[in-house]
C-alpha cells in the first residue's frame, strides 16, 4: 500500500521538509567492498553512438511540419515604460503569422506576474513583443518593423551602485532585501578576543552559463493536447509552469526533453520562450518554435550573481575564534537569491559565527541557479579569508582548516552528518600535490626568474544524497530486453548510463539489454537534474523497481522450469539453477505475450541526519609577475561523494567542474555598461569561456569512494556541483602563496593580479 512519509532534502543550499508518497520497503545498502557486475565499473556512455553520429535529437533539432519560427523583440533599455506598440508594418510583411505583446497577449502568469510582456521593462533583454513567421529570417525582419514608444526611467545595473543612496529605488522596499541570516555564539566577542583578525572585502563578477544549446522550446497544440519539447533540466517543472501560465490541466500538457545541450542550473523551469511558443501554437494551430540566440541567451537566460562580500575572521592559539560574513548579491530582476554564506555557516566548526546575506535588485538580467549557486561565490571569499588568517597567524592553512573540519556534526543545524571523510580528502590531496614542497611565503621560483610558483588549496561542502520524490518502472519484454522509464533528464552528466548500470546490476541482465527512457512527463515522476541529486534520488528507485521486476521474473522462471524460486538466480540475462542455465528470453517466450513491470519509489531520507558532500581542491600555479598572467599547472580534486557508480563519467564530471571553475577564477566576467545598461560581451567572442588551450597541464581526480550507508540504498551522495566549488579559492590562495599578492576579486584577471602585485610590492 502506498503511504505518506516525512522526508528532509537539501536543494541548492536550502533544506526542505516534505511529505512524500512511497510504497513497499526500502532495500538495504550494499556494504563497502560489495562486488558488483556493473556498479563501480567504468562503462562507456550508452547514448554515445547517438551523440557522436548527430542522431541525438536535441530541442533545437525538432522541426515539425508547418512549424512557425518565433523571434522576440527585447528591450534595448534597462528600464522603461512601454507606452505604445505599432506592429502594422511588421504584420504586413509576407510570411508573418502572428504578433504578441502586452496590449494583445492573453493573461499568462509567470513567476508571480500576470503577464509575460511587462508594461515596465526592467532590463536590456526584457521581452517586449514576439513574432511568429513562416521562417526565421522573416521573423527577424519583422522585428525590425515593430515600432515601440518607450518612456525611459532611471535605472541602475551595478551592484554597489544599487546598494548606495543615490540609486533609483526599483522596489517599494528599496533595492536591498535581507535574504538569510545565521548566528551562533558571539562573533563580536570572538573577534575582540582574537590575536589576529583578517578584515577583507571580496568580490566575484557575474558569470554567464553559456550552455551550448540555448534555451528554447518547440510547442504544438492539436486542439486538445499541448506538447512541448524543451531544453530543460526539469520536464515536470516546465509542465507545472505551463499549467500555471495557461490554466491547462496536467493531463493536457506533455513536456519532453530527450537530449539536452547543457544547462548548468539555468534550465530549471518554464521560460517565457516556452509560454510564447505555446500561446502561438494555441492561437494559430501550427507548431511554434522559440529558440534563443546566443545574444539573447546572455541577456535573458540567467547568470551567476555578482557578489560583494565582507569577511572578518579572528584567530588565536592556532584556531579560528570567530567569523563574520556579510554578502550582497546582484540578482538583477530575479525573485530569489543564492546564499554565498552557506559554506560559511556549515563548513567549519567555528563557535562564534554571524552571517547575513542580502539580495540586491538591479536593472540587469535575472540570476538563475548556476552550478553550486552561492557556494562558488561564497567559497571564494571564505577560503581566501581563511588562508589570509593562516598567513597572519603564521600557521599552515591546511593545519588551521583541519582543526575545524573534523566535527561529525553539522555546526549549523546540530545534526550528525550521515558520513564525512573531509580529513581524508585533505590527506589524499596534500600527498598528490606535494603540499610539503609549499613554502610558507614567497613561493618557489618558477620556470623563469619573473615567474613565481605557488601552491594553494580550498575546501568544498555541498548538499548531497538526493531524496524523494522519484519513481521508476522497469519493463521486461518477452525477449528479455528491458526498458527503464523515469521522468528525470540526462543533461550530459551520464544519468542514462548510470541508471542503466544500476538497473542491469539489480535485475541481473546485460547492460546492452537495458534501454533508458527519460525526459518525459508521461513517465513516472523524476526530479530536476540539478542540485547534484539526480542519481542519488532516482538511482535508489531504479534499484527497487529492478528488484521488483527480478522477483516477478524469477517467479515466472520457477513456474516454467518447475523449480523452487529460492533455487533460481538471474545473472546476465540467464536464469541459473543448480544444474542448468536458461536464457531469460527462452523462459519468457514460453509464457504467452506478457510484460513484467517492476515499480520503485525513492524512500525518504533520515530527518535526523545532515547529508553533505565534502572535498578539497589543491592548485599549483605559476604567475608571471611582469604580465600578471596565471598559469594553472596542476589541480588535484578530491571528493567524498559516497559510492561511485561509474568511475569514468564521475571523473569526467570532476574535470568539467574544474574547467568551468577555471573560467570563473580567471576569465569569465559579464560587463554591463552602467550608462546604457547594455551587456557589452554577451557573446562567445568577448565573454571568455575556457578553451582547450586553457586546460591545466595536469588534473588529478581522486575519490574517497566509500558508500554513505545512511544516505540511501546505494550509498550515493552526488557529484555535479562539488567540483566547481573550491577551485577559484585554491587558485587565489596559490597565487598569494606564489607572489605574496592577494587578489580578492574573481576572476583573477591580469589587471587585478598586477594591481595586487603592486599593492604587495608597496607593502613589502
SS3 assignment, position 606: coil
Q: Does 412 bind other proteins (CB under 8 A)?
A: no
Q: Does 36 bind other proteins (CB under 8 A)?
A: no
- Choose between 16 and 63: whose C-beta lies nearer to other proteins: 63
Q: Which stretch binds other proteins (CB under 8 A): 1-9, 328-336, 347-355, 486-494?
A: 486-494
Q: Which stretch binds other proteins (CB under 8 A): 50-58, 154-162, 314-322, 359-367?
A: 50-58
| Residues 228, 334 contacting (CB under 8 angstroms) | no
Q: CA triplet 38, 531, 16: central angle to 5 degrees?
A: 115
CB burial string 260-276: b at 16+ within 10 A, e below: bbbbbbbbbbbbbbbbb
Which residue of 204, 207, 211, 220 would you call a contact of other proteins, by CB under 8 A?
A: 211
Q: Does 103 bind other proteins (CB under 8 A)?
A: no
Which residue of 110, 229, 259, 417 would you call a contact of other proteins, by CB under 8 A?
A: 259
> x/- site string to other proteins, residues 627 to 656, per CB under 8 A?
---------------------xx-xxx-xx
- Choose between 3 and 693: whose C-beta lies nearer to other proteins: 693
Q: Does 264 bind other proteins (CB under 8 A)?
A: yes
Q: Which stretch binds other proteins (CB under 8 A): 58-66, 81-89, 145-153, 458-466?
A: 58-66
Retrieve residue 134's grid coordinates: 513562416
Phi and psi of 341, rounded to 5°?
Answer: -90, 0
Least distance (Å) between residue 95 CB and other proteins? 12
| Residues 123, 677 contacting (CB under 8 angstroms) | yes
Strand 612-624 with 451-463, pairing: antiparallel
Edge-first strand order for the sheet with 176-184 is 176-184, 352-361, 319-332, 307-316, 196-204, 745-746
> x/- site string to other proteins, residues 488 to 527, per CB under 8 A?
---xxxx---------------------------------
Q: Does 200 bind other proteins (CB under 8 A)?
A: no
Which residue of 205, 274, 523, 660 would you call a contact of other proteins, by CB under 8 A?
A: 660
**Four-residue CA torsion sign, 341, 342, 345, 348:** negative
Give residue 508's region: left, alpha or beta (phi > 0; psi -120 to 50).
Answer: left
SS3 assignment, position 62: coil
Cα distances (angstroms) measured from residue 581 to each of 566, 572, 574: 15, 11, 6
Least distance (Å) between residue 376 CB and other proteins? 15
| Residues 207, 669 contacting (CB under 8 angstroms) | yes
Q: Does 552 bind other proteins (CB under 8 A)?
A: no
Q: Does 681 bind other proteins (CB under 8 A)?
A: no
- Choose between 143 and 311: whose C-beta lies nearer to other proteins: 143
| Residues 408, 417 contacting (CB under 8 angstroms) | yes
Q: Does 66 bind other proteins (CB under 8 A)?
A: no
C-alpha 155, offset from chain centre = 30
| Residues 657, 371 contacting (CB under 8 angstroms) | yes
Which residue of 466, 690, 718, 740 would you call a contact of other proteins, by CB under 8 A?
A: 690
- Choose between 191 and 433: whose C-beta lies nearer to other proteins: 433
Least distance (Å) between residue 252 CB and other proteins? 28
Q: Does 55 bind other proteins (CB under 8 A)?
A: yes
Which residue of 21, 32, 51, 409 would you call a contact of other proteins, by CB under 8 A?
A: 51
E strand or H helix that includes residue 538: helix 534-561
- Choose between 34 and 691: whose C-beta lies nearer to other proteins: 691
DSSP string, 472-484: EEEEE-TTS-EEE
Least distance (Å) between residue 661 CB and other proteins? 9
d(CA 40, CA 275) in angstroms, rounded, equals: 42
Q: Does 693 bind other proteins (CB under 8 A)?
A: yes
Q: Does 695 bind other proteins (CB under 8 A)?
A: yes
Q: What does the binding site for other proteins look like in residue numbers (CB under 8 A)?
A: 44-45, 47-49, 51-58, 60-61, 63, 136-137, 209-214, 259-262, 264, 293-294, 491-494, 648-649, 651-653, 655-660, 683-685, 689-693, 695, 699
Amino acid at each position: 500500500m502506498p503511504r505518506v512519509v516525512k522526508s528532509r532534502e537539501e536543494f541548492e543550499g536550502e533544506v526542505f521538509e516534505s511529505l512524500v508518497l512511497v510504497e513497499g520497503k526500502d532495500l538495504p545498502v550494499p556494504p563497502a567492498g560489495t562486488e558488483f557486475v556493473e556498479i563501480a565499473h567504468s562503462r562507456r556512455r550508452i547514448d554515445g553512438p547517438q551523440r557522436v553520429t548527430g542522431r541525438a535529437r536535441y530541442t533545437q533539432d525538432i522541426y515539425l511540419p508547418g512549424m512557425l519560427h518565433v523571434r522576440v523583440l527585447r528591450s534595448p533599455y534597462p528600464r522603461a515604460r512601454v507606452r505604445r506598440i505599432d506592429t502594422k508594418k511588421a504584420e504586413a510583411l509576407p510570411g508573418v503569422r502572428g504578433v504578441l505583446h502586452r496590449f494583445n497577449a492573453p493573461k499568462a502568469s509567470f513567476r508571480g506576474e500576470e503577464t509575460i510582456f511587462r508594461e515596465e521593462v526592467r532590463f536590456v533583454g526584457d521581452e517586449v513583443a514576439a513574432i511568429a513567421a513562416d521562417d526565421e529570417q522573416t521573423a527577424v525582419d519583422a522585428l525590425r518593423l515593430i515600432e515601440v514608444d518607450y518612456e525611459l526611467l532611471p535605472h541602475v545595473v551595478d551592484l554597489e551602485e544599487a546598494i548606495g543612496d543615490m540609486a533609483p529605488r526599483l522596489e517599494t522596499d528599496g533595492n536591498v532585501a535581507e535574504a538569510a541570516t545565521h548566528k551562533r555564539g558571539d562573533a563580536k566577542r570572538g573577534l575582540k578576543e582574537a590575536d589576529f583578525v583578517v578584515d577583507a572585502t571580496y568580490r566575484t563578477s557575474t558569470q554567464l552559463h553559456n550552455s551550448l544549446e540555448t534555451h528554447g522550446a518547440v510547442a504544438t497544440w492539436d486542439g486538445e493536447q499541448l506538447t512541448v519539447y524543451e531544453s530543460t533540466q526539469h520536464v515536470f517543472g516546465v509542465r507545472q509552469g505551463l499549467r500555471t501560465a495557461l490554466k491547462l490541466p496536467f493531463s493536457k500538457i506533455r513536456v519532453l526533453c530527450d537530449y539536452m545541450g547543457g544547462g548548468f542550473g539555468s534550465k530549471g523551469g518554464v521560460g517565457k520562450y516556452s509560454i510564447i511558443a505555446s500561446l502561438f501554437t494555441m492561437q494559430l494551430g501550427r507548431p511554434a518554435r522559440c529558440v534563443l540566440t546566443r545574444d539573447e541567451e546572455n541577456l535573458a537566460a540567467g547568470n551567476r550573481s555578482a557578489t560583494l562580500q565582507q569577511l572578518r575572521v579572528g584567530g588565536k592559539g592556532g584556531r579560528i575564534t570567530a567569523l563574520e560574513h556579510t554578502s550582497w548579491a546582484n540578482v538583477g530582476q530575479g525573485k530569489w537569491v543564492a546564499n554565498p554564506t552557506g559554506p560559511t555557516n556549515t563548513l567549519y566548526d567555528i563557535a562564534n559565527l554571524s552571517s547575513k546575506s542580502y539580495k540586491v535588485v538591479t536593472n540587469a538580467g535575472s540570476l538563475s541557479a548556476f552550478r553550486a549557486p552561492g557556494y562558488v561565490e561564497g567559497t571564494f571569499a571564505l577560503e581566501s579569508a581563511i588562508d589570509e588568517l593562516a598567513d597572519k597567524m603564521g600557521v599552515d592553512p591546511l593545519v588551521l582548516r583541519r582543526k575545524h573540519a573534523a566535527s561529525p556534526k553539522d555546526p549549523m543545524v546540530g545534526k550528525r552528518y550521515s558520513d564525512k571523510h573531509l580529513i581524508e580528502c585533505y590527506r589524499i590531496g596534500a600527498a598528490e600535490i606535494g603540499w610539503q614542497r609549499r613554502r610558507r611565503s614567497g613561493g618557489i621560483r618558477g620556470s623563469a626568474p619573473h615567474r613565481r610558483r605557488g601552491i594553494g588549496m580550498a575546501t568544498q561542502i555541498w548538499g548531497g544524497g538526493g531524496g524523494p520524490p522519484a519513481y521508476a518502472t522497469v519493463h521486461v519484454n518477452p525477449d528479455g530486453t528491458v526498458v527503464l522509464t523515469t521522468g528525470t533528464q540526462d543533461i550530459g552528466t551520464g544519468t542514462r548510463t548510470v541508471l542503466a548500470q544500476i538497473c542491469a546490476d539489480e535485475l541481473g541482465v546485460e547492460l546492452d539489454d537495458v534501454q533508458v527512457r527519460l525526459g518525459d512527463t508521461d513517465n513516472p515522476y523524476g526530479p530536476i537534474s540539478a542540485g547534484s541529486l539526480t542519481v542519488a534520488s532516482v538511482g535508489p528507485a531504479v534499484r527497487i523497481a529492478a528488484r521488483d521486476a527480478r522477483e516477478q521474473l524469477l517467479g515466472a522462471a520457477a513456474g516454467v522450469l518447475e523449480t523452487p524460486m529460492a533455487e533460481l538466480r538471474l545473472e546476465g540475462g540467464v536464469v541459473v539453477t543448480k544444474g542448468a542455465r536458461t536464457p531469460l528470453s527462452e523462459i519468457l517466450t514460453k509464457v504467452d505475450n506478457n510484460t513484467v513491470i517492476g515499480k520503485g519509489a525513492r524512500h525518504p531520507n533520515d530527518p535526523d541526519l545532515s547529508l553533505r558532500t565534502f572535498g578539497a581542491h589543491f592548485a599549483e600555479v605559476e604567475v608571471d609577475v611582469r604580465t600578471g598572467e596565471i598559469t594553472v599547472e596542476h589541480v588535484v580534486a578530491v571528493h567524498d561523494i559516497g559510492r561511485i557508480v561509474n568511475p569514468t563519467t564521475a571523473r569526467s564530471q570532476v574535470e568539467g567542474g574544474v574547467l568551468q571553475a577555471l573560467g570563473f577564477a580567471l576569465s569569465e566576467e559579464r560587463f554591463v555598461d552602467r550608462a546604457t545598461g547594455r551587456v557589452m560581451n554577451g557573446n562567445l567572442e568577448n565573454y571568455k569561456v575556457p578553451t582547450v588551450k586553457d586546460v591545466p597541464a595536469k588534473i588529478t581526480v581522486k575519490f574517497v569512494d566509500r558508500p554513505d550507508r545512511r544516505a540511501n540504498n546505494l550509498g550515493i551522495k552526488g557529484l555535479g556541483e562539488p567540483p566547481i566549488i573550491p577551485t577559484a579559492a585554491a587558485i587565489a590562495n596559490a597565487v598569494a602563496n606564489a607572489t605574496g599578492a592577494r587578489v580578492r576579486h574573481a576572476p583573477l584577471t591580469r589587471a587585478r593580479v598586477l594591481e595586487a602585485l603592486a599593492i604587495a610590492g608597496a607593502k613589502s
